[in-house]
Chains A and B, each alone.
Chain A
Amino acid sequence: MPVMNIKKFSFTYAGAEIPSLHNISLPIQKNKITALIGPSGCGKSTLLRSMNRIHDLYPGNKYDGKIELLDLETEKFKNILEIKKENEFIELRQKVGMIFQKPTPFPMSIFDNVAYGLKIAGIKNKTELADRVEASLKGSALWKEVHDRLGKSAMGLSGGQQQRLCIARAVAVKPEVLLFDEPTSALDPISTGAIEELIVELKKDVSIAIVTHNMQQASRISDFTAFMYLGDLIEYDKTENIFLNPKEKKTEDYITGRFG
């Protein structure tokens, strides 16, 4: 069952002549991991950043088509491209979280980082905050390492720990979908392994879309894979089909390393 449906979606950056994405149609399945792969500049980040409309921080971009998000309460799909008001944006971004390529801890303590999304969502109760911070840190496999230094600055953590902190921070607000944009490309292999395990663990609770340049990573962790090329979606299928049995010649060339 899909939690998001991207339908005939096109995107043009402000001031650009031609669209960066054309006519993309793609589901994001519930409690599954969907990988977006493709050569640099093909529009993976652009697509991902449309899914929580973080693009809208910068004015003038143009959307076409639909991106529907399942409302878990009413079980109905809602087109997020119709959102205009700030409170609707806030609601969307609480439902669709995002983790970036480089870890982005806020200049505050470890605890406050994880509690941040909860605090701005209006949760004030100290014990509830503490409980949810603990649960998120445990869920992000970071609790053991940081439980005795929650009051210390998050800047003092290692890169891998910072990235897991950012995941804990995003998980704390209980999103429906999490978007990862190359979350491990700035990390060493051990931290990368930890994050991959964590992402697989997380799909129990959230649906995940992940952009990656690392083909092994896509095949290791994802259930579905979308291959993009020059702003087009070339092929979308179960991950094993894409990697073992691609239908398109371009997909095959890419995953066998003939270009990209």
Chain B
Amino acid sequence: MKKRYLYLLLLPGLLFLTIFMIIPILLTIGTTFFTENGFSIQGYLDFFKDRYFIEILLTTLRVSLFTTIICILLGFPAAYYISKLKQRKKAIMLLLTIFPLLTSPVVRSFSWMVIIGKNGVVNKMLMGMGLIEQPLDILYTPTAIIIGLVHLFLPLIIVTLVGVMENIETDLLKAAESLGASRLAVFSKVIIPLSVPGLVIGSILVFVGSFTAYTTPALLGGKQRVISTFLYQNAITLNEWQVASIVATIMIAVTVLIISIMNGLAKKLNPKG
């Protein structure tokens, strides 16, 4: 087949995405700018004046940010360890890593309820040891959402990082050592900078995933709203489709903004990565 006809292979997928994703999204965005009185951005202005909504947006951003940071801190060393293993062991460890992804978020959230609830395992243990008098309020707080999201997204960042770290030539590490670098220096001056591409992709996945996640915050957040549960509430419970569309558009805009910020950051950290 001639090379220039190869793009035809893209067509079925492209068609599907256009009909079922791109057009609906554009329509959704379109509706937010049109009211009975024609074009207006009043909907957005109202929104950003609303303390309640701003609060939800900031909470969601904060939760996503913390989730991403914790995932990086926990995932980076684990990924490095796995990337250094021999083929067989590596395969087993990667399988174990993605195991949580194979259970439903609903099931996982319910098990967290059992663990961090008022009468949950954690509180019982801490009280049993006499460390606290009253049970801690973890469930139905942003902390609970973060715990659930870290659990959900840690595998993702580990797998992404392992992919990048595997491809760091061991000769580079040896070269650094022979030039006088201690283990720590090798890690900070070679391994971390060369992992930046994986770190960026992983962070984007985790951040965007956390920002848009629904099930976990819905179950572990209780009355604590995040942007996705807020959207759901407006659309399904309150039947406020105009509001829901505006929320959706804001979510898309924030997501795009985050991705471009992270890409910019990556370029700075690793100019030729």
Is chain B found bound to chain A in the same assembly? no
Q: What is the interface of chain A, defined by CB distance below 8 A to chain B? A: none
Q: What is the interface of chain B, defined by CB distance below 8 A to chain A? A: none
